[in-house]
Structure 1
């Protein structure tokens, strides 16, 4: 299952954005309003949103063009990528890409909430 957030432009340089996204604590500011719990963990974080189970993510890789978060749970196999491209030295184009390997039943249950989550993250990234 692949989902895409809309492409946005952030008024930060790629370097500043990458520095921010290396720090697990900084993800709390990007979470939706329905955030109920946020806990920084070793190279990642765990969070829960209203009406959803806890999700643990690890920062797997951070490069000059993308940040890759991976599920810390072996029962859920997915990645969330933030693809970044410099527009100029003070602006960066960003798009969130979700890639998950779910059975058809799970996909049917999580597709809409995940798309809403991506949209909310995108909105919050746009505000920074």
Structure 2
């Protein structure tokens, strides 16, 4: 299953955007209002839970300076990745888009498609005010 967030333009350079998102503790400021738990486990790993959902642990798997950050599931039953693509829009502005990729059976995909789409849209929308 592949899902993409809308692309947003931030009033920050790709470098500033990348540096903010490279620090996993900053993801707390991007989370939806219905977050029930957020905890930094290591420099590159954090745990979060939304009300009514299981806890998810994300670990930074890859970082390409100023262009891309890949977070992946760390443990648990589901294997997926969340990719942040950063491109220069113009001087001191950057475009950001999130992509969610995971292998799920049809039933699971049907159940999580809506909540995951809303989640990544919220993350990218909150970047406008958090970064």
Equivalent position of 2:61 in the other structure:
60
**Alignment of 1:51 onto 2:49:** no
Q: Which runs of 5+ in 1 are unaligned?
A: none
Equivalent position of 1:28 in the other structure:
28
Where 2:16 maps in the other structure, the secondary structure is helix
Give RMSD over aligned pairs.
1.0
Q: Which runs of 5+ in 2 are unaligned?
A: none
Aligned counterparts of 2:22 and 2:124: Cα–Cα separation in 1: 17
Q: Structure 1 residues 91-100 or 81-90, which shifts more? A: 81-90
Equivalent position of 1:120 in the other structure:
122
CA displacement 1:57-100 (0-9 Å, x = unmatched): 00111112111000002521100001110112310001111001
Q: CA deviation at 1:126?
A: 2.2
- Could you list the structure 1 runs, at least 4 aligned residues long, displaced by more than 6 angstroms after superposition: none
Aligned counterparts of 1:92 and 1:109: Cα–Cα separation in 2: 33
**Count of residues in correspondence between the two structures:** 128
Aligned counterparts of 2:57 and 2:106: Cα–Cα separation in 1: 22
**Alignment of 1:80 onto 2:88:** no
Aligned counterparts of 1:122 and 1:16: Cα–Cα separation in 2: 15
Equivalent position of 1:98 in the other structure:
100
